[in-house]
Structure 1
Amino acid sequence: MASAVGTGTGTGTRTTAGGAFDERRLGGMGAAGTGPVAGFVLATAIVLALSLRMPAGTAVVGLASLGILHNVLELRYMAGRFERVLHGPFLRLLAALITGIVLCRVLPASAGTRDGEILLAYGLLAAACVHALRHRPAVMAAAGAVIATAATASLSFPDYHFVVLTHLHNVVPLLFLWEWSRGMRRGRRAFRAVQVGWVLVIPVLILSGAFDGLTGSGSGWTDRLSVSYTPPAWQHTDAGLRFVTVFAFMALMHYLVWVWFMPRYAPDATAAFERRVPVLDGRRAWALGLGAGAALAALFVSDYDQGTSLYAALATYHAYLEFPVLLMLVLGMGPRATAGGSA
C-alpha cells in the first residue's frame, strides 16, 4: 500500500470512503482513554468469570460464534493501518507463503505437511527481515541466524511449536494495542497497564493455580481441548485444565479486540481499508464475517472436527500475517502515531 495511515491532526472534519466524520470526536475517544480502559476492565471481568466456570464451553462457543468475524475485521485493520508496509510485491510474497501454509493444513496430516508449515512460517519472518533490513546487512545476518536457530528448535520439537504458536497468537493483540495507544494524549499508562493485566498477568495467575478454587471441574471436552492447548510434558495432569482456561480467556478477549475495540476506536484503519477495497465497506465486511461465521457455526454443531479443520485453514491468513506485520513494526516500519489518538 502506498501511503501511511493516521496522519490526521485531530481537528476539523475529513471525508473518507466511509463518509464524513468529525475528527475531534473520534480523536477524543482515543485521546482520553476513559472509555477504552473502562471497557477493557469490564470485558476482562466478564470473560474471566466465564472462562473460569466454563473453560471448554467458552473456548468452543467463542470460536464458533466470533472466530470468522474476528478474522475478517483483523485483516481489515491490518490492511488499513499498515498500508504503508502491506503493498506491492512484498504483500504478494507474504500471500504466496501463507497460501502454502493453507495447503499444508488442508492436505492429509503428515510429518511432511507439519514440517512444511513450520518452514513456511519462518520463511514469512525471513521475508520480513530481508524487506526491512536489506540496507543493514549485518543486522539482517544476525536476524537470519536467530530465525534459523528458532526454526531448528521448532522442527526438533514440533508438538511444542504448535502449542506455543496457539497461545502466542492470543498474546499478539497486546502489541497492536500498544502501538495504537501511542496516539493517546491522556490515559496511555492506565490503558497499557490494563492490557498487560489481561494479556500477561491474569494468564500467569491462572497457570499458577491462583484461581483453582473458582475454576469449574473438567469434562470430556476439556480433556479433548487440552491436547491442543497444553504442552506435551503437562498433558494428562491438572495443568491441562489451567491451559484450557487460559486459552478460553485469552481467545475470547482476543476476539473482542477485533470485533469491539478496533472497529470503534480505530476508524482511520477502517477508512484506509475502504479506500483500497471499496467493495468491502463497513456493512459488507460485517455481513461477510457474520454470514461466514454463521455457516461455520452450523458446521461446528454438525461435525466439530470438520469445523475446526476448516476454521484452521481459513484462519491461516490472519494468524500468520500478524507476525511479519509485527516484526516490521518492531523494526520501525509501522505507521506514525496520530496526534489526535484516532489511530
Structure 2
Amino acid sequence: MPLAGFAAAALLALVVALRAPAGLAVAGLAVFGALHNVLELRYVAGRFRQVLAGPFLRLLLALITGIVVCRLLPPGPASRAAEILLAYGLLAVASARALRRRPWAPAAAAVVWATAAGTSLAFPAYHFVVLAHLHNLVPLVFLWEWSRGLPRGRAAFLAVQFGWVLAVPLLLLSGALDAWLAPGTGFTARLAVAYSPPAWLHTAAGLRFVAVFAFLQTMHYVVWVWFLPRYAPDAAAAFERRVPWLGGWRAWALGAAAGGALGVLFVSDYAQGRSLYAALASYHAYLEFPVLLLLVLGLGPEGRAARREAVPCSSPTSLPSPPTPPVLS
C-alpha cells in the first residue's frame, strides 16, 4: 500500500539523514538524480500536456535554456543575477498565461514578481538556499493534485504527505532530534553553504539544514522514482503518445545511463559533476514552477476545460488514481 511505503521510506530516510546527512545527499544524487529528472519530465509533460504545448512551452524552454547557460558559465554575480531574472521571467510568463482574462490580475502579479526579484537580487545567497529546499517541497502539490480523484482515504494520504514534507523537517530544524544527529564533518560544512541560510551557517542550524535537505531530497526521489510511475501510469502513457521514441523501458534506460555517466564524473571530479548536473537539472527543476503556479491559479479557463476532458489514471493495485489533467536535487 502507498501509505505503508511512504511511512517506511520516510522512517529509513530520517534515520540515515540523522546519521550520515552528507553521505545521503551525495549518494542519493549520484544514484537517483539523473533518473528522477527523466521520470519527472515524463510525468509533467504527460499529465499537463494541454498546458505545456505550443508557443507557451517553447517560450518556457527558451527561458530555462538561458538558465542552463548561466549555470554553465563561471560562477559570479553576473551569472547569478541573470539566473534570478530569468527565473522570475518564467514565473511572470506563467502568471500572464493563467491570469490573462482576469482584469488587473496580470498587473498585480507583475508587481509581486518585480518586488520578489528585487529582494532576490539583493540577497542572492538566500534566494538559492530557498530554491534548493523549495524544489524538494514541490512534490506535495503534485501529490495533492493527484489525490483529488481518490474515492476514499484522501485525508489519511494527505496527512502522511504533510508529515514528511513539513512535520519531520520542522522537528529537525527545531533541534528536537539533535541527540541522534551525527557530528558534522568538513564535507558536511561545505554542503551547508548551499543548503543553510548564511546567517545560520556557522551555528548548529547549519548541520540541521543539511539533514533536512538530505531527508527531503530522498523523499523527493521516492515520489518521482517509485510512487508516481506506479500509481499514475496514464501520465507516462500520455507522454509516450507525445514522444513515442522515449516510451516504455527507454525512459528508464536513459535515466540509468545518464546516472551511470554522472556517477563516474562524480567519482573523478565531484565539483565538475555537481556543476554539470545543476545546469542540466534546471530543465526539470524550473519547468515544475510554472506548472505549479498554473495549478495554484486555477490553470485559467483553458486549464479547467482540459481537466474536465482528461482521462482518469489507472492504478496497478486496488488504490485508484485521479483524473489526468515541476539547484536542486
Scaled by the length of structure 1, the TM-score of the pair is: 0.88
CA contact (8 A) 1:183 1:339 kept: no
1:342 and 2:321 equivalent? yes
Q: What's the offset of the Cα at 1:238? A: 1.1
1:330 to 296, 306, 315: 296
Q: Distance in 2 between matches of 1:185 and 1:40?
A: 19
Q: Distance in 2 between matches of 1:282 and 1:41?
A: 28
2:194 corresponds to which letter in structure 1? S
Q: What's the offset of the Cα at 1:137? A: 3.3
Q: What's the offset of the Cα at 1:301? A: 0.8
1:128 corresponds to which letter in structure 2? A
Q: Distance in 1 between matches of 2:228 and 2:4?
A: 15
1:167 maps to 133
1:18 maps to none
CA contact (8 A) 1:206 1:212 kept: yes
Q: Per-residue CA shift, 1:177-211, capped at 9, x if unaligned?
A: 00000011111000000000000110010000011
Q: Distance in 2 between matches of 1:51 and 1:314?
A: 26
Q: What is the total number of aligned residue pairs between the two structures?
A: 309
1:204 maps to 170
Alpha-carbon RMSD across the aligned residues, in angstroms, is 1.2
Any unmatched runs of 5+ in structure 2? 315-319, 323-329
Corresponding residue SS for 2:28: helix
Pairs within 5 Å for 1:300-315: 300-315=266-281
Q: Distance in 2 between matches of 1:283 and 1:75?
A: 15
1:283 and 2:283 equivalent? no
Identity %: 68
Pairs within 5 Å for 1:69-218: 69-218=35-184
1:47 to 13, 16, 24: 13
Scaled by the length of structure 2, the TM-score of the pair is: 0.92
Any unmatched runs of 5+ in structure 1? 1-34
Deviates more, 1:107-116 or 1:246-255: 107-116
Q: Per-residue CA shift, 1:222-265, capped at 9, x if unaligned?
A: 11100100000001111111000000000010011100001000
Q: Distance in 1 between matches of 2:60 and 2:103?
A: 21
2:195 corresponds to which letter in structure 1? Y
2:282 corresponds to which letter in structure 1? T
Which of the pair has the greater relative contact order for Cα pairs under 8 Å at 6+ separation?
Answer: 1
CA contact (8 A) 2:91 2:293 kept: yes
Q: Distance in 2 between matches of 1:224 and 1:148?
A: 32
Corresponding residue SS for 1:84: coil
Q: What's the offset of the Cα at 1:339? A: 8.6
Q: Per-residue CA shift, 1:86-127, capped at 9, x if unaligned?
A: 000000000000000000000111211110000000000000
